[in-house]
Amino acid sequence: MADVLKETYTGVAAGGFNYARSGYYLSESFTASETYSVTLCKIPLYRGGSELDPGNCTVEIRAVDELRKPTGAALATSDVVNLSALTLDTGGTETTFAFSTPYEVTSGTEYCLVIISAGGSGSLIWIGTSADKVTYAGISWRGGVPNWYENTGDVFFGTYGEGSGGAVTRSPMLMDRNMPNGWGF
């Protein structure tokens, strides 16, 4: 079966305002609109400086606690993606993180996508906006266990699942039809 877009959040980019490095994570929550198996996610990213190397990264799917922060062990972990050659362009690059073992999310349940950098020496910027807190129901966090800090905005993503069709959740917001690099989600 083909990978089909299931959940997404995009908007008018305000540049990158979040970063990941060894021991410091980024996340964005989403609520599954249907029950499906996540096969991959796509995230717009860029590197924070030419001398910086985010290295090998993965995305985890985690449960959320009562405050909607990532909690517990990873429910699923993507394959490793080496981001050493990631663009420096602040328009970012759509980066695909595939799950060799798809993870089934349950309709109506909230989860977090968490980017993990395995010891890189630099910043990894997850593109988002600081203006859409009122239009997207998810929450973006930075930090790590035990200290997670809420971001002032949300970050962009797309989750994909197995199937021939499905519900795509798009929160009401201003859509920028001229987004850089033709993000496909």
184 within a domain of the structure (yes/no):
no
Contacts of 46 (CB under 8 A, 6+ apart): 16, 86, 87, 88, 89, 90, 91, 92, 93, 125, 127
Percent of the chain with pLDDT over 70: 66
- Let me know if residue 178 belongs to a domain: no
Could you tell me the CATH number of the domain that includes residue 164? 2.60.120
Whether 131 is covered by a domain: the verdict is yes
* Token pair recorded at residue 181: 């690099």
Residue 179 covered by a domain:
no
Q: Does residue 102 have a cis peptide bond before it, meaning omega lies within 30 degrees of 0? A: no
Residue 96 lies in domain: 3-169
pTM for this prediction: 0.81
CB atoms under 10 Å from CB of 171, counted, come to 15
pLDDT in tens, 84-127: 888 888 888 899 999 999 999 999 999 999 988 776 666 778 88
Q: Is residue 174 part of a domain?
A: no
Q: How many domains does the chain have?
A: 1
